[in-house]
Structure formats: C-alpha cells, structure tokens
Amino acid sequence: MAALDSGEQKSHGHGEKKHKKKHRIGFRIDMTPMVDVAFLLLTFFMLTTYFSKPQTMELNLPPDEKSQVEVAESNLMTLRVAADGVIFWCIGTEAAHRVELKELRKFLEDKNKENPKLITLLKVDREGKYSMMIKLMDEIAIAKVTRFSLAPMNEFDKRQIQKARAS
Amino acid sequence: MPKIKKKRIGFKIDMTPMVDVAMLLLTFFMMTTQFRPAEETQIDLPASHAPFKMPETDVMIVTVNKEGRVFLGVDAQKLRAQLFGEANKLRPAVEVDRKQLHDLLIQARISNPKLRTLVKGDKNAPFGPVEDILDILRQVKITRFNLVTEMDKS
C-alpha cells in the first residue's frame, strides 16, 4: 500500500535513445513496515506526552513563632474553615458568620476596601481538606489581599464555629 | 464449473499524504515531548490561579497523598542515594514520618543549599498532615516554599 515507485516502469519500452545510458530499472520499496513502526511511535509519544506543567503557589512563612506582631482586634479578620468545608468569618472576637466560597472573593475585596489595614488570618480544621486551604488562599490572592497568615485551629475556634452553627 | 459471481477488482489507495502527516505529527511529538516524572503515589492536584511555573531542577518535593501519607523526594539521584540510602536511589520518593522529614530536610539543605521546596498535596488530602509539614518547614527554617497546583480552567 505505502510503496515507493520509481515510476519508470512504463517508459521501459520506448525509452531507448541513441546514446545508451545506463538504464535504470524501476524499483519498488515496500514501506508498510516502516509506516507501521512510525505509527506505533506516534501513538507512544502521543500517549506519554503531557503539556500542562503544574503551577505553583508561593508561600512565605514568618521565620519563627516567637516573632509576634500585635494587631488591633478590629483589624484582624479570621476565616475559619470547618471540617466539612463551611467557611466562617469574624472580625476580632465577634461572633462568627457564615460565608459561601463563591461570595468570598467579593467579600474579601469589600472588607479590605472598608478597612485597608485589615489582616486576614486563615484557620483550617485539621480534619478539613487540603484543597479548601488552596481554594481559600487562591481567593485571597485573587482579591489581592497581601497581609494574610495561616494559623492552626484551636479549641476556641472550634467553639466559635459551633456557636455560629447553632445561631 | 460455475463462474465466479463477482470479480474483485484489485485497487490501490495512495497512502502517501496520510503517512506524510503521520510523520509530521511524529516529529512534532518527539520534539515536544516531556516525560511524565515517575511518582511514588497517585496525586490529584488541586486547582488554583497561581501564575508561577513549577521549577524542575534543584527541587525537593514533599508529597501528601489522599490518605495523608507523607513522602519526600528529591530530583537528583546522587542526593537521593545520600539521603535515603543506595537501595532507594531509583525510587522517586520515599515515605517518611514527621521526625525523619525534619532531619532529612535539614540534611538535604546542607547537601544542596540551592534546593527549593515544593509541597504537593492531593486534592482530597486531609489538612492535618499538611499542617504538620508547614510546621516542620517552619522549624527547619524553610520559610519560602511553593505549593504545587494545577491550572484552574475556569
């Protein structure tokens, strides 16, 4: 099928000229095996290749826990993520409120416009999902909130969440 | 003898254009291919809008799979042999516990100060182990690291 033809076979009969050159004999090469191999390789490369290189999110942690920064309570917004992925927010030690992930971006932008000195604290439950942390950090980055930090969730936070759920 | 009902006509299809295209594709894929790096566990990356590309050399990757098991891997084979022993040289990552991770991170940084740290967590991984890792990173004074994510399509 895939064959190379010299195409000179037909002109065999009346191709005789006076000066007798060395006459080429028509030849065919069966290319089928080569093409087979080429297709095999093609499938192989198509299957093993991958284009999308993973992205990374850069994170800077403060050097050690002892370097405490004093913040006014009214400038501190805590975002808590419960084990089931529900997000609660509160400012200072006020009662916590629920916020949906979809509204979070707008919410963060608004809050930061209201108070440019706002510092965001993100607390994720140990039983929660890692993807929640990524999603929230992504939202925080998109909302261009630069002052934010991560903190472990303690018993007090869990109680706050429970209270917010009850109300 | 009865005649053959229908005589088949021999036919030829010129496959040349198809083969040409196939060869072109083949060359394209051969040129652009990058092999998927071997992984110790299957990781489903979470999605984000983070703009940075993942560095490929001089990296150590702390992996958390969906069961919350923690693996440590480095890209250089030499360093791998040094950290995990000659037997584990060819494994892309080795499972470690919290204490080992702490010591190995320090050792790796001593051997190659240029190492960048990547944390690669599965989408469904629990947050607990990740929090422990962040804590360990803070203890060993790796304050700058990257979280590996996938490009968010939306």
Could B127 and A134 be called an inter-chain contact, meaning their C-beta atoms sit closer than 8 Å? no
Beta bridge partners of A149: A121
Domain holding A44, by residue range, is 1-6+24-50
Co-location of A44 and A110 in the same domain: no
Query: What is the chain A residue with the closest CA to B125?
Result: A130
| Tens of each residue's pLDDT in chain B, 154 residues | 566 666 678 888 888 899 899 999 999 888 887 766 667 778 888 888 888 888 878 888 888 888 888 888 888 888 888 888 877 777 878 888 888 888 888 888 888 888 888 888 888 888 888 888 888 888 888 888 888 888 876 6
> In chain A, which residue's Cα lies nearest the Cα of B55?
A56
* B153–chain A Cβ distance below 8 A for any pair: no
Q: Are residues A95 and A151 in the same domain?
A: yes
A157 is a domain residue? yes
Which residues in chain A have Cβ-Cβ distances shorter than 8 Å to B136?
Answer: none
By the 8 A CB rule, do B58 and B115 touch?
yes
Is A57 at the interface with chain B, CB within 8 A? yes
Q: How confident is the model at residue A30 (pLDDT cuts 50, 70, 90)?
A: confident
Cβ distance A55 to B51 less than 8 Å, yes or no, reads yes
Q: Do B49 and A135 touch (CB under 8 A)?
A: no
Same domain for A100 and A139, yes or no, is yes
- CB contact under 8 Å between B130 and A133, yes or no, is yes
* Number of structural domains found in chain A: 2
pLDDT of residue B150: 84
B66 and B59 Cβ atoms separated by less than 8 Å: no
Q: What's the rounded mean pLDDT across residues A25-44?
A: 88
3-state helix, strand, coil in chain B (%, to 5): 35, 20, 45
Q: Which pair of structure tokens corresponds to residue B28? A: 């394209």
Q: CA–CA separation, B57 vs B74, rounded Å?
A: 9
In the Cβ-directed half-sphere of B79, how many Cα atoms lie within 13 Å? Answer: 24
Kindly state whether residues A34 and A90 are assigned to the same domain: no
Q: Are residues A84 and A157 in the same domain?
A: yes
Asked whether the beta carbons of A145 and A112 are under 8 A apart, the reply is yes
pLDDT of residue A6: 54
Nearest Cβ partner for B143 among A57, A63, A124: A63
Give CATH for domain B47-151: 3.30.420.270
Do residues A106 and A150 share a domain? yes
In a shared domain, residues A119 and A82: yes
Is A72 touching B (CB cutoff 8 A)? no
Among the residue ranges A60-64, A66-70, A91-95, A147-151, the one predicted with the least confidence is: A66-70
pLDDT of residue A55: 80
